[in-house]
Amino acid sequence: MKILLVGEYNRTHWNLKKALEALDHEVLVIGFRDGFKKVDVDIEIKNPLSPWFLKKIRTLIFKIFEHDLLSYFVKNQIKSKKETLSGYDIVQFINEAPFFIDRNSQLTIFKWLNDWNAKSFLLSTGTDYISVSYAYNKKLRYSILTPYFDRKISKKSFQHVLSYISKKHENLHNNLANMVTGIISNDLDYHIPLIDHPKYLGMIPHAIDLSKLPYKGPVIKEKIIIFHGINLNNYYKKGNDIFEEALSLVLEKHQTKIEVVTVKNLKYEDYIKSFDRAHILLDQVYAYDQGYNALEAMAKGKVVFTGAEQEWLDYYEIEEDTIAINALPSAKMIAKKLEWLILNPQQIIAISKNARAFVEEHHDHFECAKQYLNKWS
Protein backbone atom coordinates (compact mmCIF):
# COMPACT_ATOMS: atom_id res chain seq x y z
CA MET A 1 0.00 0.00 0.00
CA LYS A 2 0.87 3.65 -0.36
CA ILE A 3 0.54 5.42 2.99
CA LEU A 4 0.75 9.14 3.76
CA LEU A 5 1.38 10.08 7.40
CA VAL A 6 0.54 13.73 8.08
CA GLY A 7 2.08 15.51 11.05
CA GLU A 8 4.71 14.46 13.58
CA TYR A 9 5.02 14.53 17.38
CA ASN A 10 8.07 12.88 18.96
CA ARG A 11 8.61 9.97 16.53
CA THR A 12 5.04 8.68 16.38
CA HIS A 13 4.79 8.59 12.59
CA TRP A 14 8.50 8.15 11.84
CA ASN A 15 8.76 4.89 13.78
CA LEU A 16 5.55 3.66 12.15
CA LYS A 17 6.96 4.57 8.71
CA LYS A 18 10.15 2.56 9.31
CA ALA A 19 8.19 -0.54 10.32
CA LEU A 20 5.72 -0.23 7.44
CA GLU A 21 8.56 0.14 4.92
CA ALA A 22 10.15 -3.03 6.30
CA LEU A 23 6.79 -4.71 5.63
CA ASP A 24 7.02 -3.61 1.95
CA HIS A 25 4.73 -0.58 2.01
CA GLU A 26 5.50 2.83 0.51
CA VAL A 27 5.32 5.53 3.20
CA LEU A 28 5.78 9.30 3.29
CA VAL A 29 5.79 11.51 6.41
CA ILE A 30 5.06 15.22 6.03
CA GLY A 31 4.97 17.71 8.89
CA PHE A 32 6.76 20.24 11.06
CA ARG A 33 9.78 18.92 12.94
CA ASP A 34 8.14 19.24 16.38
CA GLY A 35 9.74 22.47 17.61
CA PHE A 36 13.14 22.30 19.30
CA LYS A 37 13.04 18.46 19.23
CA LYS A 38 13.90 18.46 15.49
CA VAL A 39 12.47 15.02 14.73
CA ASP A 40 12.70 13.39 11.29
CA VAL A 41 10.17 13.87 8.47
CA ASP A 42 10.40 13.18 4.72
CA ILE A 43 8.89 16.53 3.72
CA GLU A 44 9.26 19.35 6.22
CA ILE A 45 6.57 22.01 6.48
CA LYS A 46 8.57 25.13 7.18
CA ASN A 47 7.60 28.15 9.23
CA PRO A 48 9.19 31.25 7.69
CA LEU A 49 7.73 33.35 10.53
CA SER A 50 9.70 31.66 13.33
CA PRO A 51 12.06 34.63 14.08
CA TRP A 52 10.64 36.54 17.08
CA PHE A 53 10.00 39.82 15.21
CA LEU A 54 8.05 37.99 12.49
CA LYS A 55 6.05 36.18 15.18
CA LYS A 56 5.12 39.63 16.54
CA ILE A 57 4.00 40.75 13.09
CA ARG A 58 1.93 37.57 12.68
CA THR A 59 0.24 38.17 16.06
CA LEU A 60 -0.44 41.83 15.27
CA ILE A 61 -1.99 41.04 11.87
CA PHE A 62 -4.18 38.38 13.46
CA LYS A 63 -5.38 40.77 16.16
CA ILE A 64 -6.26 43.53 13.67
CA PHE A 65 -7.53 41.56 10.66
CA GLU A 66 -8.21 38.08 12.15
CA HIS A 67 -6.05 36.64 9.38
CA ASP A 68 -3.33 34.10 10.18
CA LEU A 69 -0.34 35.02 8.04
CA LEU A 70 1.32 31.62 8.55
CA SER A 71 -1.71 29.87 7.04
CA TYR A 72 -0.84 31.45 3.68
CA PHE A 73 2.65 29.89 3.71
CA VAL A 74 1.53 26.48 5.01
CA LYS A 75 -1.34 26.14 2.52
CA ASN A 76 0.97 27.15 -0.32
CA GLN A 77 3.49 24.47 0.68
CA ILE A 78 0.77 21.79 0.76
CA LYS A 79 -0.86 22.92 -2.48
CA SER A 80 2.47 23.10 -4.33
CA LYS A 81 3.06 19.42 -3.44
CA LYS A 82 -0.35 18.20 -4.62
CA GLU A 83 1.16 15.70 -7.05
CA THR A 84 3.46 14.25 -4.37
CA LEU A 85 0.67 14.09 -1.78
CA SER A 86 -1.95 12.46 -4.03
CA GLY A 87 -2.86 8.88 -4.89
CA TYR A 88 -2.31 7.23 -1.50
CA ASP A 89 -4.39 4.30 -0.27
CA ILE A 90 -4.26 5.58 3.31
CA VAL A 91 -3.82 9.03 4.85
CA GLN A 92 -3.42 9.31 8.62
CA PHE A 93 -3.56 12.68 10.38
CA ILE A 94 -1.63 12.74 13.65
CA ASN A 95 -4.00 15.18 15.33
CA GLU A 96 -6.95 17.49 14.70
CA ALA A 97 -4.68 20.55 14.45
CA PRO A 98 -1.17 19.51 13.32
CA PHE A 99 -0.43 22.58 11.17
CA PHE A 100 -0.33 25.27 13.91
CA ILE A 101 -2.47 27.70 11.92
CA ASP A 102 -6.07 28.94 12.20
CA ARG A 103 -8.73 26.23 12.30
CA ASN A 104 -10.48 27.15 9.03
CA SER A 105 -7.21 26.89 7.12
CA GLN A 106 -6.44 23.55 8.77
CA LEU A 107 -9.87 22.28 7.67
CA THR A 108 -9.10 23.38 4.10
CA ILE A 109 -5.87 21.32 4.14
CA PHE A 110 -7.67 18.29 5.60
CA LYS A 111 -10.25 18.49 2.81
CA TRP A 112 -7.53 18.69 0.14
CA LEU A 113 -5.65 15.68 1.47
CA ASN A 114 -8.85 13.72 1.95
CA ASP A 115 -10.00 14.48 -1.63
CA TRP A 116 -6.61 13.70 -3.18
CA ASN A 117 -6.41 10.22 -1.60
CA ALA A 118 -8.51 7.09 -0.96
CA LYS A 119 -9.16 6.65 2.77
CA SER A 120 -8.25 8.90 5.71
CA PHE A 121 -7.89 8.19 9.43
CA LEU A 122 -7.32 10.33 12.51
CA LEU A 123 -4.80 9.42 15.20
CA SER A 124 -5.74 10.81 18.60
CA THR A 125 -2.43 11.78 20.17
CA GLY A 126 -1.89 15.10 21.85
CA THR A 127 -4.67 17.47 22.84
CA ASP A 128 -7.88 17.40 20.78
CA TYR A 129 -11.54 18.35 21.20
CA ILE A 130 -12.68 15.13 22.88
CA SER A 131 -9.74 14.69 25.29
CA VAL A 132 -9.72 18.35 26.38
CA SER A 133 -13.53 18.42 26.78
CA TYR A 134 -13.33 15.25 28.88
CA ALA A 135 -10.63 16.74 31.09
CA TYR A 136 -12.32 20.16 31.27
CA ASN A 137 -15.49 18.50 32.59
CA LYS A 138 -13.31 16.82 35.26
CA LYS A 139 -14.15 13.27 34.21
CA LEU A 140 -10.57 12.24 35.07
CA ARG A 141 -9.10 12.26 38.59
CA TYR A 142 -6.41 14.59 37.23
CA SER A 143 -5.28 15.67 33.77
CA ILE A 144 -3.13 18.20 31.94
CA LEU A 145 -5.82 20.74 32.91
CA THR A 146 -5.21 20.21 36.64
CA PRO A 147 -2.45 22.87 36.82
CA TYR A 148 -4.89 25.30 35.15
CA PHE A 149 -7.66 24.44 37.63
CA ASP A 150 -5.09 24.86 40.44
CA ARG A 151 -4.25 28.33 39.03
CA LYS A 152 -0.61 27.49 38.41
CA ILE A 153 -1.15 28.50 34.77
CA SER A 154 -3.07 31.60 33.70
CA LYS A 155 -5.92 31.41 31.19
CA LYS A 156 -3.82 33.44 28.76
CA SER A 157 -0.82 31.07 29.08
CA PHE A 158 -3.10 28.05 28.74
CA GLN A 159 -5.00 29.42 25.75
CA HIS A 160 -3.39 26.92 23.35
CA VAL A 161 -4.95 23.98 25.21
CA LEU A 162 -8.28 25.75 25.85
CA SER A 163 -8.54 26.58 22.13
CA TYR A 164 -9.36 22.89 21.54
CA ILE A 165 -12.78 23.40 23.14
CA SER A 166 -13.53 26.66 21.29
CA LYS A 167 -16.42 26.84 18.79
CA LYS A 168 -13.96 27.13 15.90
CA HIS A 169 -12.15 23.97 16.92
CA GLU A 170 -15.39 22.13 17.63
CA ASN A 171 -16.41 22.89 14.04
CA LEU A 172 -13.05 21.56 12.78
CA HIS A 173 -13.43 18.44 14.94
CA ASN A 174 -16.96 17.71 13.71
CA ASN A 175 -16.00 18.13 10.05
CA LEU A 176 -12.90 15.98 10.44
CA ALA A 177 -14.78 13.26 12.37
CA ASN A 178 -17.32 13.08 9.53
CA MET A 179 -14.57 13.03 6.91
CA VAL A 180 -12.36 10.22 8.22
CA THR A 181 -13.07 6.49 8.02
CA GLY A 182 -12.04 5.93 11.63
CA ILE A 183 -10.21 7.24 14.72
CA ILE A 184 -7.35 5.45 16.50
CA SER A 185 -5.68 6.38 19.81
CA ASN A 186 -2.21 5.46 21.02
CA ASP A 187 -2.45 5.62 24.80
CA LEU A 188 -5.03 5.47 27.57
CA ASP A 189 -5.15 9.26 28.07
CA TYR A 190 -6.80 9.48 24.63
CA HIS A 191 -8.42 6.03 24.62
CA ILE A 192 -10.61 6.59 27.68
CA PRO A 193 -12.42 9.72 26.37
CA LEU A 194 -13.01 8.05 22.97
CA ILE A 195 -14.54 4.78 24.17
CA ASP A 196 -18.13 5.61 23.12
CA HIS A 197 -17.30 7.50 19.90
CA PRO A 198 -19.04 5.90 16.88
CA LYS A 199 -15.92 6.07 14.71
CA TYR A 200 -13.45 4.91 17.32
CA LEU A 201 -11.49 1.83 16.20
CA GLY A 202 -9.54 1.29 19.41
CA MET A 203 -6.04 1.83 20.80
CA ILE A 204 -2.69 0.87 19.30
CA PRO A 205 0.16 1.50 21.78
CA HIS A 206 2.93 3.97 20.91
CA ALA A 207 5.29 2.40 18.36
CA ILE A 208 8.90 2.27 19.59
CA ASP A 209 11.92 1.41 17.42
CA LEU A 210 13.83 -0.79 19.84
CA SER A 211 16.80 -1.15 17.50
CA LYS A 212 17.73 2.46 18.35
CA LEU A 213 17.47 1.86 22.11
CA PRO A 214 19.93 -0.75 23.38
CA TYR A 215 19.15 -2.06 26.84
CA LYS A 216 21.77 -1.51 29.51
CA GLY A 217 21.08 -2.97 32.93
CA PRO A 218 21.61 -0.57 35.85
CA VAL A 219 24.99 -0.65 37.57
CA ILE A 220 24.66 0.97 41.00
CA LYS A 221 27.92 2.07 42.60
CA GLU A 222 28.24 4.93 45.08
CA LYS A 223 25.13 6.96 44.21
CA ILE A 224 21.74 6.48 42.57
CA ILE A 225 21.41 8.93 39.68
CA ILE A 226 18.04 10.64 39.16
CA PHE A 227 17.41 12.40 35.85
CA HIS A 228 14.90 15.23 35.40
CA GLY A 229 14.39 16.53 31.84
CA ILE A 230 12.40 19.77 31.58
CA ASN A 231 10.65 21.34 28.59
CA LEU A 232 10.17 24.89 29.87
CA ASN A 233 7.13 25.44 27.64
CA ASN A 234 5.33 22.60 29.46
CA TYR A 235 6.83 23.12 32.92
CA TYR A 236 3.55 23.07 34.89
CA LYS A 237 1.63 20.95 32.38
CA LYS A 238 4.10 18.08 32.87
CA GLY A 239 4.28 18.58 36.64
CA ASN A 240 7.96 19.56 36.69
CA ASP A 241 7.29 21.83 39.68
CA ILE A 242 6.04 18.81 41.66
CA PHE A 243 9.09 16.76 40.67
CA GLU A 244 11.41 19.56 41.79
CA GLU A 245 9.63 19.79 45.14
CA ALA A 246 9.88 16.00 45.55
CA LEU A 247 13.60 16.09 44.76
CA SER A 248 14.12 18.76 47.42
CA LEU A 249 12.42 16.54 50.00
CA VAL A 250 14.58 13.55 49.05
CA LEU A 251 17.80 15.57 49.02
CA GLU A 252 17.11 16.70 52.60
CA LYS A 253 17.30 13.08 53.78
CA HIS A 254 19.49 11.28 51.25
CA GLN A 255 21.87 13.84 49.73
CA THR A 256 24.89 11.53 50.10
CA LYS A 257 23.10 8.66 48.35
CA ILE A 258 21.84 10.37 45.19
CA GLU A 259 22.96 12.55 42.30
CA VAL A 260 20.32 14.68 40.56
CA VAL A 261 20.84 15.61 36.90
CA THR A 262 18.52 18.30 35.46
CA VAL A 263 18.47 19.34 31.78
CA LYS A 264 16.25 21.81 29.93
CA ASN A 265 14.93 22.05 26.35
CA LEU A 266 17.28 19.57 24.72
CA LYS A 267 16.96 18.44 21.10
CA TYR A 268 15.87 14.81 20.78
CA GLU A 269 19.27 13.41 19.80
CA ASP A 270 20.86 15.12 22.83
CA TYR A 271 18.04 14.24 25.22
CA ILE A 272 18.06 10.53 24.41
CA LYS A 273 21.79 10.35 25.25
CA SER A 274 21.67 12.66 28.27
CA PHE A 275 20.01 10.17 30.63
CA ASP A 276 22.25 7.18 29.82
CA ARG A 277 23.99 7.35 33.22
CA ALA A 278 20.72 7.61 35.14
CA HIS A 279 18.99 4.87 37.11
CA ILE A 280 15.72 6.79 37.61
CA LEU A 281 14.01 9.20 35.20
CA LEU A 282 11.27 11.70 36.10
CA ASP A 283 8.97 12.06 33.09
CA GLN A 284 5.51 13.52 33.76
CA VAL A 285 2.82 13.70 36.42
CA TYR A 286 -0.60 14.35 34.86
CA ALA A 287 -1.02 11.17 32.81
CA TYR A 288 -2.58 7.72 33.04
CA ASP A 289 -0.23 6.09 30.51
CA GLN A 290 3.30 6.58 29.18
CA GLY A 291 4.29 8.83 26.31
CA TYR A 292 7.29 8.50 24.01
CA ASN A 293 9.96 9.87 26.32
CA ALA A 294 8.94 7.51 29.11
CA LEU A 295 8.76 4.45 26.86
CA GLU A 296 12.15 5.10 25.28
CA ALA A 297 13.69 5.51 28.74
CA MET A 298 12.00 2.29 29.90
CA ALA A 299 13.36 0.50 26.82
CA LYS A 300 16.86 1.62 27.82
CA GLY A 301 16.35 0.18 31.31
CA LYS A 302 15.45 3.22 33.39
CA VAL A 303 12.96 3.26 36.26
CA VAL A 304 10.52 5.91 35.07
CA PHE A 305 8.15 8.06 37.11
CA THR A 306 5.29 8.69 34.69
CA GLY A 307 1.65 7.85 34.00
CA ALA A 308 1.00 4.33 35.34
CA GLU A 309 -2.50 4.63 36.75
CA GLN A 310 -4.84 1.84 37.87
CA GLU A 311 -6.53 1.90 34.44
CA TRP A 312 -3.15 1.15 32.86
CA LEU A 313 -2.46 -1.67 35.33
CA ASP A 314 -5.87 -3.17 34.57
CA TYR A 315 -5.53 -2.80 30.79
CA TYR A 316 -2.19 -4.64 30.66
CA GLU A 317 -2.93 -6.91 33.66
CA ILE A 318 0.20 -5.98 35.61
CA GLU A 319 1.07 -5.13 39.21
CA GLU A 320 1.86 -1.70 40.62
CA ASP A 321 5.52 -0.58 40.80
CA THR A 322 6.84 -3.51 38.75
CA ILE A 323 7.31 -1.80 35.35
CA ALA A 324 6.95 1.97 35.89
CA ILE A 325 6.20 4.18 38.90
CA ASN A 326 2.93 6.10 38.86
CA ALA A 327 3.82 9.78 39.39
CA LEU A 328 0.87 11.13 41.36
CA PRO A 329 0.37 14.93 41.63
CA SER A 330 1.84 14.94 45.13
CA ALA A 331 5.47 15.81 45.92
CA LYS A 332 5.28 13.81 49.17
CA MET A 333 4.02 10.67 47.40
CA ILE A 334 6.70 10.94 44.70
CA ALA A 335 9.38 11.52 47.35
CA LYS A 336 8.14 8.43 49.22
CA LYS A 337 8.48 6.28 46.08
CA LEU A 338 11.94 7.72 45.37
CA GLU A 339 13.03 6.94 48.93
CA TRP A 340 11.74 3.35 48.55
CA LEU A 341 13.98 2.89 45.51
CA ILE A 342 16.97 4.58 47.13
CA LEU A 343 16.74 2.29 50.15
CA ASN A 344 15.98 -0.79 48.03
CA PRO A 345 18.30 -0.59 44.99
CA GLN A 346 17.53 -4.21 44.09
CA GLN A 347 14.07 -2.94 43.07
CA ILE A 348 15.73 -0.67 40.49
CA ILE A 349 17.40 -3.69 38.88
CA ALA A 350 14.15 -5.71 38.82
CA ILE A 351 11.99 -2.86 37.46
CA SER A 352 14.61 -2.07 34.81
CA LYS A 353 14.41 -5.60 33.36
CA ASN A 354 10.62 -5.61 33.53
CA ALA A 355 10.38 -2.22 31.81
CA ARG A 356 12.42 -3.37 28.83
CA ALA A 357 10.41 -6.58 28.52
CA PHE A 358 7.14 -4.61 28.67
CA VAL A 359 8.16 -2.26 25.83
CA GLU A 360 9.32 -5.21 23.75
CA GLU A 361 6.00 -7.00 24.27
CA HIS A 362 3.56 -4.13 23.73
CA HIS A 363 5.34 -1.31 21.89
CA ASP A 364 7.56 -2.91 19.24
CA HIS A 365 7.03 -0.80 16.12
CA PHE A 366 6.71 -3.82 13.82
CA GLU A 367 3.87 -5.31 15.85
CA CYS A 368 2.21 -1.89 16.14
CA ALA A 369 2.48 -1.39 12.36
CA LYS A 370 0.64 -4.68 11.79
CA GLN A 371 -2.14 -3.44 14.06
CA TYR A 372 -2.44 -0.22 12.03
CA LEU A 373 -2.66 -2.20 8.80
CA ASN A 374 -5.42 -4.29 10.32
CA LYS A 375 -7.47 -1.29 11.45
CA TRP A 376 -6.93 0.63 8.19
CA SER A 377 -8.27 -2.33 6.21
Q: State the CATH number of the domain containing residue 230.
A: 3.40.50.2000
Contacts 24+ apart (CB under 8 A), 19-22: 19/207, 19/209, 19/365, 19/366, 19/368, 19/369, 20/369, 20/372, 20/373, 22/366
Please tell me whether residues 141 and 112 are part of one structural domain: yes
pLDDT score for 116: 98
pLDDT score for 73: 95
Confidence band of 38 (pLDDT split at 50, 70, 90): low
Q: Are 300 and 329 in contact (CB under 8 A)?
A: no
Domain end residue (candidates: 151, 178, 203): 203
Confidence band of 227 (pLDDT split at 50, 70, 90): very high
- Phi first, then psi: give them for residue 28, nearest 5 degrees: -130, 135
Please tell me whether residues 192 and 254 are part of one structural domain: no
- In the chain, how many domains are there? 2
* Residue 37: pLDDT over 80: no
Task: Determine what percent of the chain falls in helix, strand and coil, rounding each to the nearest 5.
Answer: 45, 15, 40
Which residues face 26 on adjacent strands?
2
Please tell me whether residues 190 and 295 are part of one structural domain: no
* Residue 36: pLDDT over 60: no
pLDDT score for 66: 81
In a domain, 369, yes or no: no
pLDDT score for 270: 86
How many CB atoms neighbour CB 203 within 10 A?
20
Helix (H, G, I), strand (E, B) or coil at 348: helix
Please tell me whether residues 183 and 57 are part of one structural domain: yes
Average pLDDT over residues 37-60: 86
* Residue 92: pLDDT over 90: yes
Please tell me whether residues 215 and 199 are part of one structural domain: no
pLDDT score for 237: 94
Please tell me whether residues 291 and 242 are part of one structural domain: yes
Helices 69-80 and 103-116: angle between axes, nearest 10 degrees: 10
Average pLDDT over residues 96-120: 96
Helices 167-179 and 129-136: angle between axes, nearest 10 degrees: 130
Q: Rounded to whole angstroms, how far apart are CA atoms 54 and 370?
A: 43
Please tell me whether residues 265 and 153 are part of one structural domain: no
Helix (H, G, I), strand (E, B) or coil at 204: coil
* Residue 263: pLDDT over 70: yes
* Residue 359: pLDDT over 80: yes
Average pLDDT over residues 46-71: 87
Out of 53-57, 119-123, 186-190, 360-364, pick the least confident: 53-57
Confidence band of 35 (pLDDT split at 50, 70, 90): low
Please tell me whether residues 199 and 227 are part of one structural domain: no
Domain that holds residue 40: 2-203
